[in-house]
Amino acid sequence: MNNQTLSRLMRMSWQIQRRRHTTRSNALFSAWVILKNDDITVNYLRAKHSARTSKPIASTNFSLFHF
């Protein structure tokens, strides 16, 4: 892993820890899962927040993180 990915992981875990009031290890584990499953997470969020009648859009247009 490069430094950019590690710093993104740490920032995300700190946000999770503050918002959910969890332990450091649980927050780091949650951030790791989100980072590793970002393609699944993006499809889930797109389906959850889109209208049923909206046109399907290619998943290549979506990204959880912008590099």
Q: Provide the residue ranges of all domains of the chain, joining segments of one domain with +.
A: 3-55
Cβ–Cβ under 8 Å, residues 5 and 35: yes
Please provide residue 53's backbone torsions phi and psi, each rounded to the nearest 5 degrees: -90, 0
Biggest CA–CA distance in the chain, Å, is 41
pTM, rounded to two decimals:
0.62
Report how far residue 65's alpha carbon sits from residue 21's, in angstroms, rounded to the nearest whole number: 24
Give the torsion sign (CA, 55, 59, 4, 10).
positive
| For residue 50, pLDDT beyond 80 | no
* Residue 50 CB partners (closer than 8 Å, separation 6+): none
pLDDT at 24: 95
Rounded mean pLDDT, 37-65: 72
